[in-house]
Amino acid sequence: MQYILKNKDIDVLCFEVQLADSTNLSTIRVRIINVFNEALLPMGIKRQSLDSISLDEALLTWIKARKIPHHRENAPYIVATYSDYGNEGVMDYIHAGFGLGLNDSYWIMPIESTPNMTKHEFMSSAHTPARWKDVNLYENAFLESVERAAFGLFAKRLQPISLSPEYTTNGMLKKCWHRSKDRICLYKASSKMFGIGGEAYSEYYMAQIARVLGFNAISYDLQMFYDEVVSVCEIFTSQDEGYVPMAQCLNARERKMRKNSQNNVIEHILRLYDKAAFEDLMLFDAIIYNADRHLGNFGMIVDNNTGAPLRPAPIFDNGLSLIATLEEAYLNDIDTALARDKSYFDIPFTEQMRLYVRERHLEHLTKLCHFEFTKHPKYNLADSILEPINKHLQRRARQAIALCEEKQQRGIYRI
């Protein structure tokens, strides 16, 4: 079957998918028929071409990666709305929702006949619109049934087309996009993996830390949603500005340079990502002990109309901070409990704080020394949890100030 990859209403490329076995990804073959607009190829495809990977292979990898990951909580429920989980075809999610998402303005339109339907019938069918304005998720409603499936409350096949961002939303936690009063927000639950706080509370309280530090960061709220407390944040993309995770801004060789060494991935990140913004991000993660700043949850805002990078995306996804990972038994000795913890970049957090704190941070760090959490009107952790964490974050701020002053005295402020 043939498809067109589109950016809004612009044809980017035409390709053909050949299925030797409709349920075995390794047997899928993609053949690009024509590239209409090379400049608008997704960044992830462009970067793969630097690894001497063929454009056909790069496109196939991009299509696979765009789909909801199998490790996502309630993935079987979501897949069940468009296919048989465990027996789904690779392109089933494309047929159901055109591969639409809320990170960008790409979508994939089949252009050959479906069973019992001629090509003319397919293209003219009211169920298969061929215009961006008819399908994009920024303007059009998405199905509440799929939203409920994302929370494990619905598992029924929907036909024939089900516009929903859930088919392309990444991450392992239970989550969904929800539209209310012209606002699109991400609702995300906590996992059962951690003890005292959970990711939802971490998002709410750590966003306050980012705010007092003056960093460009997303604000989070808490809400009861399908009988559980979830974090809520408003979308930061639009039809004209998209988000590309750093993983798609690097090629495979660069992504593998994770370890803290002289030739590491950070050097490649800074070729695109603003240096000051990266210092802010690394300092913030060091203060809150965020071990999950992988290459998928920070990146670039791009111009959807040209593909050009514009600026770093705001800081988001701070769920694995000390609020989520710390065990209650260690609340009276947080320093000892977290002393050996490292960031995604394999740097001990206190060392990362020393490396990235700058003189321009001192004013806001001083404010953090006296900061008190603002409690939520309805949903809160116990004072016995919040107070020791609050005091520890104040100590982290004082420690960061001392490290910065030491660097100034030694003349190694800029490193």
Summarize pLDDT for 69-122 with one digit per residue, the tens.
999 999 999 999 998 766 788 899 999 999 999 999 999 999 864 444 443 454
Summarize pLDDT for 13-30 with one digit per residue, the tens.
999 998 766 556 557 889
| Distance from C-alpha of 388 to C-alpha of 92, rounded to nearest angstrom | 49
Q: Where are the beta strands (DSSP E) in 36-174?
A: 106-110
Per-residue pLDDT at 262 exceeds 50: no
Q: What's the pLDDT score for residue 128?
A: 52
Q: What is the mean pLDDT of the chain?
A: 90
Q: Where are the beta strands (DSSP E) in 130-227?
A: 175-180, 183-188, 221-225
Q: Output the pTM of the full model.
A: 0.91
Instruction: Tell me if residue 300 falls in helix, strand or coil.
Output: strand
- Tell me, which fold does domain 186-410 have in CATH? 1.10.1070
Q: How many CA atoms lie within 13 A of 28 on its CB side?
A: 22
Summarize pLDDT for 367-381 with one digit per residue, the tens.
999 999 999 999 999
Nearest Cα residue to 356 out of 212, 213, 258: 213
Q: Mean pLDDT across the stretch 397-414?
A: 88
Q: Which residues contact 364 (CB under 8 A, 6 or more apart)?
A: 212, 213, 214
User: Where do the structural domains in the chain lie, given as residue ranges?
Assistant: 2-171, 186-410
